[in-house]
Structure 1
Amino acid sequence: MGTVETYRQLEASLGDDWQLSPSKHSRVGMLKEILNWIGHPERRLSVIHIVGSNGKGSTGVMLSKILTTAGYRVGHFSTPAILSDREVVTINGQMISEADVMFHYKRIMIEIKNHGGDEKTLTKFELWTLIALCHFAKQEVQFAIIEAGLGGTGDATNVVEKPLVVAITKISDDHSTMLGHDIIKIAENVAGAIKPGSLVVNYPGQDVAVFNILRDKAKTVGAVWNPYPKPQITLIRSSPKGLVVNADQLEGLKLSLTGAYQANNLSTVLQVVTILKNKRIALSDVTVAEALAHVKITGRMEYDSENNILYDGAHNPHGITSLVAAIRSWHLPFKPIVILGLIKGKNHMDMLDELLPYVSTVIAVTPDAKNAMSADELAANIVMMSNVDVEIADDSTAAISLARQVRESSKALIVVTGSFYTLRAIEREEKI
């Protein structure tokens, strides 16, 4: 890779692969050294570090919306991107500018080259993690919500040494080939994000063995397990437009994120809110309710009511299970038409087992990723497993056209899912 002078050159040189390569050795120490060279920007941030397998994006965006609505300046780092890499670094919902990306990139790269490295020293995820920390510190955000990419111990975001809160989402066997071959090993890896003095919040539906590992880790390192009661949440209504729940004193609370499983993510969020309130952070119930009624996440159970399309980046069996549970709870008049693209190595057979009984037609696409499963291979797997109608789309335009044809005589919901890279392949600017 030659000298990068413009943002467009940088984006092209980094490619589309946000995945981390398996490594026997953590690179967090190296990243901390780089942060030392540039003045430890991460130490000037009040960080809410979100780790886990599923629900990090939902948890992060709800917290960001609540704090922003309350008037705070909030940085949010969340991967992967869907349409533009700059989506992963936002302040109060606004993407980082191309100029700011290049400012931080050049500053980081000068120090790396001064110490014998080059443009290939960092992975894409590592680079954007450092850019986010530098940008948030320079812009003097009051809170920085940092979502881990993979696990905890060796994840680039684990450079944060003193997070204010560590929020742990649902831990599943996603990335088992990279983090360990059972959920216990994965939990031990995620637990590496728990730091001395931090307050730890845990997803309410965690596996018991996972829960014990996390709590033991907190006790061992001197972290504080959330001392406050978890909110009592009752689901009142679920539809593609969102949820209505009772959450302690917040009765009839509207959450504009859809999928009943979001009630558990909401519990995690409200636990963090309680902790912040007890740290004298001003967060009124009215503010919380207002924020949750208007929160949106690109590509995560994102419903386009005008066109009756659901975009969801479910990328592992747990994510697909949650998607299917939502679809079943809505009692739709027709089985959905699914535009599906999968990534290799993601337990795709389990995902298909879960999904296929509840759809009428699958339009197979090839996700926009280096390790994508081809549409032909996906279609062949589906044909072997079920009697579901399968079509193969050569590109996003073809997928959209096929979806139009299939649902022409019905009002069936169209679901685009399987990976965030699938959402990228289906160009979001186009409307069905």
Structure 2
Amino acid sequence: MTRPALTSQGRSQPAGRTVGVPPQPPGRDPSAAAPAFSRADVDAGRWPDVARLPSAGPARTAVARHLVSRALDRLALTGPSAGARQPAAGPRLTLHDPDAFHRRIGRHGLIGFGESYMAGEWDSDDLVGVLTVLAGHADELVPAPLRRLRGLWAATRPAADRNTPTGARDNIQRHYDLSNDLFAAFLDPTLTYSSAVFTAFPADFESLASAQHRKIDRLLDLADVGEGTRLLEIGTGWGELALRAAARGARVTTLTLSAEQAALARERVTSAGLADRVEVQLRDYRDIEGRHDAVISVEMIEAVGAEYWPSYFTALRHALAPGGRIALQSITMGHRQMLHTAATHTFISKYVFPGGLIPSRRALADHARAAGLRTVADHGYGAHYAETLRLWRDRFTAHRSAVTALGFDAVFQRMWEFYLAYSEAGFRSRYLDVRQLLLTEGTPR
């Protein structure tokens, strides 16, 4: 199984578009901890690759056991495994089923590592802490000779996940059309699903909504959006940036491939009395019409796929009126890591963002230049994304009962918590960053 249907996996009932945003929790609720869970509780019909153990073979399992044991001991991560080991000084990774854990890693690498967590075969008293240590030593976990043989043991990305015009719509819907209520359970009332910008850390003394508005205002300022600006937004989300731009007097065309997002964004625009200034279109970026004074795209390029980055930047360029400005927000990773990730089917590409790939700063600059665009500004703030993800994870954990009531089962909830923690760890370890770029016409001198 390589292509889980995320729009149905883990749900026993559909959820409507009307969104009730849960109140902001004061902090992590200890009573909201995930209940005890094991592979026996997994619904094999919904989660076949989690319910069954892969056939790894004794040799691959033994190699995985040796490499994992060596890495975890060196990084001081292992906790007691069936009472056999002493607790580690750092964050603890506790193995409930060591044989299954090593078999999955031996057969499927990091996908197996994530699926083992989904199956309840391991846990941690500090999931982000464990994943941050692992992310910080990602290049050391597998010996160099085995890394050079990556093609022999790492799965390639499914051809069905390519972001063709049809595939892109399917891939976007598999994540963003899960349920508006699911996203409302962990996002703030602005329903903004991208990094906020805070005034100080830790971020508990500022509302997430105000930090999201600060981020949006920075992007609007970067693109010089004001009264009468013709603004194109690629990637609507649930409409907060379009609403804020329209309140400045801009006329906004905003594009999305998510039917759920489009419906709720239109409702929010109408409720705000801005329907005469905002048009929400179900449209692919490759089908943009007209020229615009400003273009803004927030964390959408990660869903485009490397194969289509030339098309994406060409579309940006063609959408820009003379003298216009493009504000682009993107998660980034190192260039070498990006090349390895592009060639590999990962846990995130299988379960969370099918068809997606995080670009490197070099890739962004190269593709922008090739499309006739000049990078005028490039600012990073990865630590802010780590805090954003921490707050999302706290809200998701606190509202576990609401997520269950929406029909999302325990395996989905473990998968989603792993995704949020995995992402937070990426930023805390500086394996990932997030950048705001200003692009204009022309190439650098």
Greater helix content: 2
Q: Normalization by structure 2: what TM-score? A: 0.25
Question: Normalized against structure 1, the TM-score is what?
Answer: 0.26
